[in-house]
Structure 1
């Protein structure tokens, strides 16, 4: 057995070193020191996936050390996980070990929790899930008071729901977010809130409109809609677009449209290279875009999208990969200067760094 613990005494030191490395990496483009947004030192992860390791007829949670993917180590405490996750983990494992039906051919368990106290547990199997499994899973669901979801090849068994509802307070207002299992959500809730607050501060109040690419479930989009006259956002994932539409309705937002387009497709649309039926009800010429927000995947912005966003007076660029952001800055710095620079410590005690830049046309 092992306890997945971290040495919190080292936290400020590791954050300082991250900031130093980031400042050095961006020195070519800015002399600004990054604004630092620290994470809670423990219980910061809202979602996690564990391998289920079977030994002697007993199931255990297990994880892999980096570079040792054939040698899992068994854990019985996960201090970086949320308090609710740590509360649920032993209860779920006990139920699994008390039921051959739940335990047999189970290979993974996923926990999705929220700051507002909701949770979803997904059990993933190498077997067909039948009525007997559903009955056992229902009993566990009733005991926990949180939904259980079953997955197997070409199977998804929803006993109650396949999502959690998050509630975040931003500038004194409560925002509701539906977060669907399997879709992208920010893993560190406190840092997510810091990122939204920083983005609202960086944008300020505007008489113009906002374009957002890679909007996900509306995480940034919905709070930022208060700062602009109109907002148009794009996202390629159907699940995320559907969640975003529900989140728009749940939060009473009326000045925001979301369309299912990739960044490459939107570049073609705004350049009038070709029409898209998904934009049939959207008059792009009616928007007075002054700001574009991008939060791309680790690969960063492709060349055409990078050239397109460079036309905007202001670019708010959130990145989970400074290397690709720096590569994009080779083009963007030709037309824009960095006015705000932030470091968000999404994953403490790792080398991972997330950044925020506000770029303003020179």
Structure 2
């Protein structure tokens, strides 16, 4: 829009869909609108605050007719906090639109036959389902409407989540519905005690302050890990706060702290100090126990993670004689989960610490048929690697949201494993990879799984089975196009 020009407004816009980012989709004058906090079925008046070439981003200025899918958000922070953006939509509708997001991505982007798609697996719990939360200390508390800035640093201190689009502003959280007790109590008590001691909260622009982050991990075994990340704290401040947390919450299994004075929040390269207890807790799936450290990756919805892995195992249809490659194995959760059903599992992961966790998890469960290797997937998974370990009968791949590197996809095409089980947290990048894989593979089963209620995110498991390669000639190459909001809107 031209600078200084009034924002364009549209009346009586019917919301017809919901986009990957969680915004409602409508059309006005052949113009696609992505509307904040809109629910399919709403009829709304909107104001466009950002215009692109083929679409615009808008906000509701009048709700003319609410959708049948609309419901009252249960969290006081809804709309300001960046999480749980679908609270204003019934859970049944959320599942419906997540299923549609998967089928749309696979059919429209990858031109995959979606007749094999099974109904989405709902989460048994839609609140307090996460086993890990990370909070940020800040001296730049987000001011809600009607609040005025004060010179009092205590009044401006916050412990909570980043405001979307404002990296330096933190929303002070009163109650979060993502993690079960005692998570909220721990956060509030630590915040209040730090304020009482007049400890400085972190300033992300100036890189000053004593307190930086708080990480809380819970588990189905009842164990509890709390990690306090300090920046420029004195020894007395560290001792005082850690001693308080130990006294106030004797149920904490693993109480740890980290001194991080880098200009980013990552802790993977930082030393962990155990204040009380071991540097790990345990999670359990069926008869398998997983050791979870402060830097370990583990699915944050543990109940649904087990269901997800059961689906991957069942899709593979193991008979007990298979050699399996588990790509992007993380802490070896899938590898160890399926190890008892196959001859051998070879796990590959980029993060060396995760591979060490994977080995430990095999050891503590007396699993002897796993091997793990650290390195960049596109470099590790080469012809020599396959020659050394053998051609896999099944490949399980669970890449990050960006999907697999194009070189890795091509490597899978060269390996020609009879089955590939592709677990994805992003159906659009999964579809991009399937554009290439479908040249040699048939998609025979599709199973969406809801891991994160009240968000737009959805996991999806796809089974690919090798075609009879004698029946066709493979095209030389196919480009993997980027999947984006504009494509999904058209």
TM over 0.5: yes
1:204/1:227 contact within 8 Å kept: no
1:306 and 2:409 equivalent? Answer: yes
Deviations 1:35-64 (A, max 9, x none): 422221100121122222447325432323
Residues 129 and 291 of structure 1, relative CA distance in 2, 3 Å threshold: farther
Match of 2:45 in 1: none
Question: Of 152, 166, 169, which residue of structure 1 is paired with 2:260?
Answer: 152
Match of 1:19 in 2: 99
1:98-177 correspondence runs (5 A): 98-100=196-198, 105-130=210-235, 132-145=237-250, 146=252, 147-153=255-261, 156=271, 157-160=273-276, 163-170=279-286, 173=287, 175-177=288-290
1:220-231 correspondence runs (5 A): 220-231=334-345
1:250 and 2:364 equivalent? Answer: yes
Residues 284 and 247 of structure 1, relative CA distance in 2, 3 Å threshold: farther
- In the TM superposition, residue 34 of structure 1 has moved relative to its aligned partner by 3.6
- In the TM superposition, residue 131 of structure 1 has moved relative to its aligned partner by 5.4
Match of 1:234 in 2: 348
Q: Give 5+ residue unaligned stretches, structure 1.
A: 273-278
2:296/2:357 contact within 8 Å kept: no
Match of 2:327 in 1: 213
Secondary structure of 1:220's match?
helix
Which one is further off, 247-256 or 33-42? 33-42
2:398/2:423 contact within 8 Å kept: yes
- In the TM superposition, residue 285 of structure 1 has moved relative to its aligned partner by 4.2
Residues 142 and 243 of structure 1, relative CA distance in 2, 3 Å threshold: farther
Distance in 2 (alpha carbons) for counterparts of 1:21 and 1:3 = 28
Secondary structure of 2:366's match?
coil
- In the TM superposition, residue 129 of structure 1 has moved relative to its aligned partner by 4.8
1:318 and 2:398 equivalent? Answer: no
Match of 2:69 in 1: none
Distance in 2 (alpha carbons) for counterparts of 1:128 and 1:87 = 23
- In the TM superposition, residue 70 of structure 1 has moved relative to its aligned partner by 4.5
Distance in 2 (alpha carbons) for counterparts of 1:237 and 1:192 = 20
1:60 and 2:158 equivalent? Answer: yes
Question: Of 458, 464, 480, which residue of structure 2 is paired with 1:353?
Answer: 458
Secondary structure of 2:429's match?
helix
- In the TM superposition, residue 169 of structure 1 has moved relative to its aligned partner by 3.1
2:256/2:279 contact within 8 Å kept: no
1:342 and 2:444 equivalent? Answer: no
Deviations 1:148-185 (A, max 9, x none): 32332266433246744233233xx2x21122223422
Distance in 2 (alpha carbons) for counterparts of 1:88 and 1:194 = 30
Q: Give 5+ residue unaligned stretches, structure 2.
A: 1-74, 79-83, 142-151, 202-208, 263-269, 468-490
- In the TM superposition, residue 239 of structure 1 has moved relative to its aligned partner by 0.9
1:266 and 2:380 equivalent? Answer: yes
Residues 102 and 64 of structure 1, relative CA distance in 2, 3 Å threshold: closer
Secondary structure of 1:122's match?
strand
1:294 and 2:397 equivalent? Answer: yes
Question: Of 163, 172, 191, which residue of structure 2 is paired with 1:93?
Answer: 191
Match of 2:302 in 1: 189
Distance in 1 (alpha carbons) for counterparts of 2:435 and 2:230 = 46
1:141/1:148 contact within 8 Å kept: no
Which one is further off, 161-170 or 116-125? 161-170
Which one is further off, 117-126 or 221-230? 117-126
- In the TM superposition, residue 132 of structure 1 has moved relative to its aligned partner by 5.0
> What's the Cα RMSD here?
2.6
Distance in 1 (alpha carbons) for counterparts of 2:230 and 2:185 = 23
Distance in 1 (alpha carbons) for counterparts of 2:131 and 2:373 = 28
Secondary structure of 1:298's match?
coil
Secondary structure of 2:172's match?
strand
Deviations 1:193-220 (A, max 9, x none): 1111111211222322101111111111
Distance in 2 (alpha carbons) for counterparts of 1:162 and 1:150 = 15
- In the TM superposition, residue 309 of structure 1 has moved relative to its aligned partner by 1.8
1:116/1:167 contact within 8 Å kept: yes
Distance in 2 (alpha carbons) for counterparts of 1:132 and 1:80 = 29
Distance in 2 (alpha carbons) for counterparts of 1:99 and 1:284 = 61
